[in-house]
């Protein structure tokens, strides 16, 4: 991470942490209140393979408010041979959108997912002179602030039953948009990693 910090300082770049997650119609379980002896039951229709794939960037740069940039993909059913997560093309589109929104070079920090390390992804990174990528150490989610974004999102979905994938997609986008308007929250997630991102 130190190399990424030096690169960001030299380029005057944004440091952007990336991570992915997924959500199905079955909501995360959580605690709630109920009458003694009567366990609350939330009925859901979670049959099938419909799900939402999520990718997000938590971005920081000294003198600027932190930013959260995300994309969603809705998978409506079985598709043989089709990947249910983000492809190299999807990541490239997310990064291009981030570059446009942030208006500066990006130092990307992400995990060791096979798609992140593929030849196609490496070519895509090399084709963008404003983009430098670094990989987090294996099994080090505590250094990625986007993990806290997913945790916050999942807690907000606890025990909520949505009847179809479009309702769920709308709810997920709504919750992520709320987080975008809370830079203090994103700043807290960045601080929570324990990494020195001051670029001093």
Reading the chain (200 residues) residue by residue, the pLDDT tens digits are 555 556 666 668 999 999 999 988 766 555 566 677 767 666 655 555 688 999 999 999 999 999 999 999 998 766 555 567 899 999 999 999 999 999 999 999 999 999 999 999 999 999 999 999 999 998 888 999 999 999 999 988 876 666 688 888 999 999 999 999 999 999 999 999 998 877 54
pTM for the whole thing? 0.83
Residue 92 near residue 122 (C-beta atoms within 8 A): no
Residue 116 near residue 93 (C-beta atoms within 8 A): no
Residue 95 near residue 131 (C-beta atoms within 8 A): yes
- pLDDT at residue 157, as a whole number: 83
CA angle, 92 then 86 then 5, to 5° = 55
Closest CA to 48 of 66, 25, 32, 68: 25
Residue 52 near residue 165 (C-beta atoms within 8 A): yes
How is residue 148 written in tokens? 């806290």
- pLDDT at residue 200, as a whole number: 45
- pLDDT at residue 163, as a whole number: 67
- What is the number of alpha carbons within 13 Å of residue 130 lying toward its C-beta? 16
Residue 44 near residue 25 (C-beta atoms within 8 A): yes
Q: Where are the domains of the chain?
A: 2-21+45-192
- pLDDT at residue 85, as a whole number: 85
- pLDDT at residue 196, as a whole number: 86
Inter-axis angle of helices 183-192 and 146-156, to 10 degrees?
Answer: 120
- pLDDT at residue 184, as a whole number: 96
* CATH, domain 2-21+45-192, list 3.40.630.30, 3.30.420.10, 3.40.190.10, 3.40.366.10: 3.30.420.10
- pLDDT at residue 84, as a whole number: 72
């Amino acid at each position: 991470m130190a190399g990424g910090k030096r690169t960001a300082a030299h380029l005057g770049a944004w440091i952007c942490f990336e991570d992915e997650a997924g959500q199905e119609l079955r909501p995360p379980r959580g605690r709630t209140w109920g009458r003694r002896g009567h366990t609350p039951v939330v009925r859901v229709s979670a049959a099938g393979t419909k799900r939402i794939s999520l990718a997000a960037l938590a971005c920081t740069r000294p003198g600027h408010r932190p930013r959260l940039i995300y994309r969603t993909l809705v998978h409506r059913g079985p598709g043989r041979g089709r990947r249910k997560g983000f492809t190299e093309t999807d990541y490239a589109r997310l990064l291009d959108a981030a570059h446009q929104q942030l208006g500066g070079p990006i130092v990307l920090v992400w995990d060791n997912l096979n798609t992140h390390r593929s030849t196609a992804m490496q070519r895509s990174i090399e084709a963008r002179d404003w983009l430098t990528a670094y990989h987090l150490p294996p099994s080090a989610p505590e250094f990625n602030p986007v993990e806290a974004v997913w945790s916050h999102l999942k807690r907000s979905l606890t025990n909520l039953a949505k009847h179809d994938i479009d309702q769920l997609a709308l709810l997920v986008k709504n919750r992520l948009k709320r987080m975008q308007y809370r830079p203090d929250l994103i700043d807290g997630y960045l601080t929570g990693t324990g990494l020195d991102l001051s670029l001093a």
